[in-house]
């Protein structure tokens, strides 16, 4: 079995074909329909499927190699339940395609995904992942299409930023504070972000 997984929750214009050879492809809810539309093999379709019609559900069943229907009265959201399933299979390198929702509570789940499960999240406008304590170097060439770079911490933290528009040295970043929001790359410079404790990095176009 592959040791990496791609969880697709949202419909996007992202080319997902590049993941087929390297990742186990997991479809959640309407993410399954996006994979089907893109003609990408679904290794596992899993969800409570309360956001699809009966006709769409039958299509998903016919296209997925494996189909797992969750009880709607489960303890976890679909995405978290999928991560638990993958962890049970010893797959911990997980990337998730998900768009922001009109529901703020659902948007806040990215904090759980990133900090507790080390999931990398992206969509057409953003990429979000965890930086561990110590010095982190960000590859400008890989992320130069993104405009804004923000850091979010769950703990009182200390940060040093070099090689970005706004540089700081050993400043205090309070938990849940927006002090480190909306920084920017310098052209062709790989910035260095040093942190006392882990943070969530959010890049937005």
CB atoms within 10 A of CB 78: 21
Q: What is the pTM of this model?
A: 0.91
CB atoms within 10 A of CB 152: 21
89 and 141 together in one domain? no
pLDDT given for residue 154 in this prediction:
96
Range of the domain at 62: 4-124
For residue 116, the 8-state DSSP code is I
pLDDT given for residue 73 in this prediction:
75
117 and 55 together in one domain? yes
pLDDT given for residue 71 in this prediction:
81
Please say which residue of 124, 141, 160 terminates a domain. 124
**Consecutive 10-residue averages of pLDDT for the chain (205 residues):** 92 91 95 95 93 91 94 83 94 94 90 96 95 97 95 97 97 96 96 98 96
pLDDT given for residue 66 in this prediction:
96
pLDDT in tens, 76-119: 888 999 999 999 999 999 999 999 889 899 899 999 999 999 99
pLDDT given for residue 1 in this prediction:
73
CATH number at residue 100: 3.40.50.10240
Please say which residue of 93, 124, 155 terminates a domain. 124
CB atoms within 10 A of CB 67: 18
Residue 134: partners with Cβ closer than 8 Å, 6 or more residues away? 194, 195
Q: Which helix (H) or strand (E) covers residue 24, if one does?
A: strand 24-27
pLDDT given for residue 97 in this prediction:
95
């Amino acid at each position: 079995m592959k040791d990496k997984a791609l969880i697709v929750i949202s419909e996007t214009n992202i080319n997902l074909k590049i993941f087929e050879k390297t990742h186990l492809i997991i479809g959640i809810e309407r993410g399954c329909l996006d994979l089907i539309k893109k003609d990408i093999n679904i290794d596992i379709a899993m969800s409570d499927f309360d956001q699809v019609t009966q006709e769409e559900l039958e299509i998903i069943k016919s296209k997925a190699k494996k189909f797992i229907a969750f009880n709607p009265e489960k303890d976890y959201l679909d995405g978290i339940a999928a991560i638990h399933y993958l962890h049970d299979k010893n797959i911990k390198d997980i990337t998730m395609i998900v768009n922001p929702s009109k529901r703020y509570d659902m948007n806040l789940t990215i904090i759980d995904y990133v900090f507790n499960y080390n999931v990398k999240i992206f969509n057409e406008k953003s990429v979000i992942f965890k930086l561990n304590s110590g010095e982190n170097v960000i590859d400008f060439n890989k992320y130069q299409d993104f405009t804004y770079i923000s850091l979010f911490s769950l703990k009182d933290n200390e940060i040093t930023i070099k090689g970005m528009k706004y540089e700081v040295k050993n400043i205090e970043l309070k938990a849940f504070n927006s002090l480190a929001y909306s920084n920017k790359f310098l052209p062709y410079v790989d910035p260095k972000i040093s942190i006392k404790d882990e943070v969530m990095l959010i890049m937005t176009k």
